[in-house]
Amino acid sequence: MKFGIIVFPGSNCDDDCRYVLHNVLGQEAFFLWHKSQDINGADCLILPGGFSYGDYLRCGAMAAQSPIMKSVKNFANSGGLVLGICNGFQILQEARLLPGVLMRNKTLKFICRNVYLRVEHAQSPFTKACRRGEVLRIPIAHADGNFYMEKKSLKKIIERGQVLFRYSNEDGAISSESNPNGSLENIAGITNEDGNVCGMMPHPERCSETILGNRDGVKIFESIIRSLEGRKI
């Protein structure tokens, strides 16, 4: 499979994503500069974490206006798989490819630590390698990860099955104590209505090798690969 990893000024997890996809999982993975509009035949696009444009204005607001985002929108609207991680999630929201907003953490502090995520749906292209209700341990590193949207829209995305991950404890229980940033409904990751665009705040690329002490994150990438292989049959 061919993975295009979009690099914005200030991206800092692009190499991590490429390493996991190419070195760990043996896939073709390459960088796409934000000023280009050519996605080079990618089967999946990844918007990595970092601090695009230094997080000026709002996180992701300037990156959402980059030339390549027109191609990302066209790709997503045609059913292509798009994954936004942390700052990539913020960019997808600013580009109106995902609903809601990500506000400042409830603590008003940057948080960098491992958290537990409960997988809400295992039929998504991004969770096919997981079980429904499975708990993953994946690190977060953000200051603006507090998911918010107005109540009617929140109810709709829950009913449509767009909530993909929720912050939980090790046993999968959802509570305010397991919510690191104040996100409504403990939401850590969502999809668009069609299910082909995903945004998640935790960083699966940072926990995809045994040497790092945890391989839970590799399941996200394995899920995408399975989904793409199914499309090619």
Q: Which sequence positions are flagged as catalytic?
A: 86, 203, 205
Instruction: Give the three-class secondary structure for 113.
Output: strand
Strand-pair partners of 28: 2
Cβ pair 18, 57 in contact under 8 A: no
Which strands make up the sheet holding 81-85, listed edge to edge?
Answer: 28-33, 2-7, 44-47, 81-85, 197-200, 187-191, 163-168, 111-119, 135-142
Structural element, H or E, at residue 82: strand 81-85
Amino acid at 54: G
- Tokens representing 218? 């590799």
Instruction: Give the three-class secondary structure for 7.
Output: strand
Amino acid at 224: I
Residue with tokens 């969502």: 190
Length of the chain: 233
Amino acid at 70: K
For 124, list phi and psi in degrees, rounded to 5.
-70, 150
- Residue in 131, 136, 188 with CA at minimum distance from that of residue 162: 188
Distance of alpha carbon 12 from alpha carbon 129, whole angstroms: 26
